[in-house]
Structures are given as structure tokens and as C-alpha cells.
């Protein structure tokens, strides 16, 4: 069972923890980490959340997850990418791009230029049902159709656009 640190309004650890699946106490947060992969064709790797997911099933998103106690957000994206997609991140090329609050999560967001062959991806069935490379415009269209995690894209889309 994953244990998460509980954070205050400013993102500071409170010394309290919670288990994955518990409701975050009102007025408090936990830490998450996302990574956006951009390939040499300036396409973005997106993954469709499994229909088995409790939150936002069958919705397109980036790779990411919750930071477990004792882990850094960089370690989280490394773990989540291996866990969900079966691929290694080129960690030396990963760039931190943004720290922000959304919903009940303080989120650390990263970006990496890395070519990944979709045939090399091994999806974890209870996490991911599909992966593909998408253009910036395709993601914008998915957001308009409520088929993408908007509360993640809206915070980073300009940074990603400038990075391309």
C-alpha cells in the first residue's frame, strides 16, 4: 500500500501521512509528479487511462502518479514510467518545468526530449489501455472534447509549445 505525505496549503509536509485510496483531508494536499515526453518530431507521448481506473477512466493523459513517502518527484516519474509503460527515462535529459497546485495535489512537472518506439512499450493493464504520439493540436482537440486531463494540460501547454 502506498503511503503519501499530507501537505498544507503552501505545499509543506505536515508530518502526517495517508494511504492511497483515502480521501485527502479538506484543506490539505498530497504530492504528484508528471512527465511529458516529446520526440524528435515534436510529438507528445500520451496514454489513455485504463477503464479500471477509479479517477478519470478512459481519458487521455501524460505519464505520472503520486509521490510516495521517502521518494522525490523525479524518482516518482522514473518509477511510474517504468511501472505504467515499461520504459526507462533518460533521466539526465529530464527538465523540471513547473510546480503548481491543482485540485488536492501539489504537482511537480517534468519534460524530456526522448524518442520512444511505441512497440517497446509494455502497458500495465490496470493503469494504461493505449499509448500514442500526438501533436500539440491533437491534444488541444482532445481537451475540447473532454477526452484529456484538462487540469494538467492547461498549466503546461504554453511551456510545452515554447519547448517544441
Over the chain, what is the mean pLDDT?
Answer: 93
pLDDT for the residue numbered 130:
96
| Closest to 65 (Cα-Cα) out of 30, 89, 16 | 30
Model confidence at 158, pLDDT cuts 50, 70, 90, reads very high
Alpha carbon dihedral 104, 71, 65, 125, in 10-degree steps, equals: -140
CA distances from 117 to 60, 112, 114 (A): 19, 15, 10
pLDDT band, very low/low/confident/very high, at 152 (cuts 50, 70, 90)? confident
What is the pLDDT at residue 90?
85
pLDDT at 151: 81
Question: CATH second-level architecture of 3-163?
Answer: Alpha-Beta Complex (3.90)
- What is the torsional sign of CA 108, 109, 112, 115? positive
Instruction: Find the mean pLDDT for residues 111-133.
Output: 95
Domain parsing of the chain, residue ranges: 3-163
Alpha helices in 13-135 (DSSP H): 73-85
Q: What are phi and psi of 90, to 5 degrees?
A: -80, 85
Please name the helix (run of DSSP H) or strand (run of DSSP E) that holds residue 99, with its range, or none: strand 95-102
Contacts of 117 (CB under 8 A, 6+ apart): none
What is the average per-residue pLDDT within 62-91? 94
At which residue does the C-alpha cell 482532445 appear? Answer: 142
Residue 41 half-sphere exposure, CB side, CA atoms within 13 Å? 9
Amino acid at each position: 500500500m502506498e503511503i503519501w505525505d499530507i501537505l498544507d496549503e503552501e505545499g509543506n509536509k505536515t508530518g502526517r501521512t495517508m494511504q492511497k485510496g483515502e480521501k485527502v483531508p479538506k484543506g490539505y494536499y498530497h504530492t504528484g509528479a508528471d512527465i511529458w515526453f516529446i520526440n524528435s518530431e515534436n510529438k507528445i507521448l500520451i496514454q489513455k487511462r485504463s477503464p479500471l481506473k477509479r479517477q478519470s477512466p478512459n481519458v487521455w493523459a501524460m505519464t505520472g502518479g503520486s509521490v510516495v513517502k521517502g521518494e522525490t518527484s523525479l524518482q516518482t516519474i522514473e518509477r511510474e514510467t517504468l511501472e505504467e509503460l515499461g520504459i526507462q527515462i533518460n533521466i539526465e535529459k529530464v527538465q523540471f518545468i513547473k510546480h503548481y497546485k491543482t485540485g488536492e495535489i501539489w504537482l511537480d512537472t517534468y519534460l524530456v526530449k526522448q524518442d520512444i518506439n511505441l512497440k517497446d512499450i509494455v502497458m500495465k493493464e490496470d493503469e494504461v489501455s493505449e499509448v500514442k504520439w500526438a501533436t500539440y493540436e491533437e491534444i488541444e482537440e482532445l481537451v475540447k472534447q473532454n477526452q484529456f486531463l484538462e487540469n494538467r494540460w492547461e498549466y503546461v501547454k504554453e511551456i510545452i509549445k515554447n519547448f517544441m
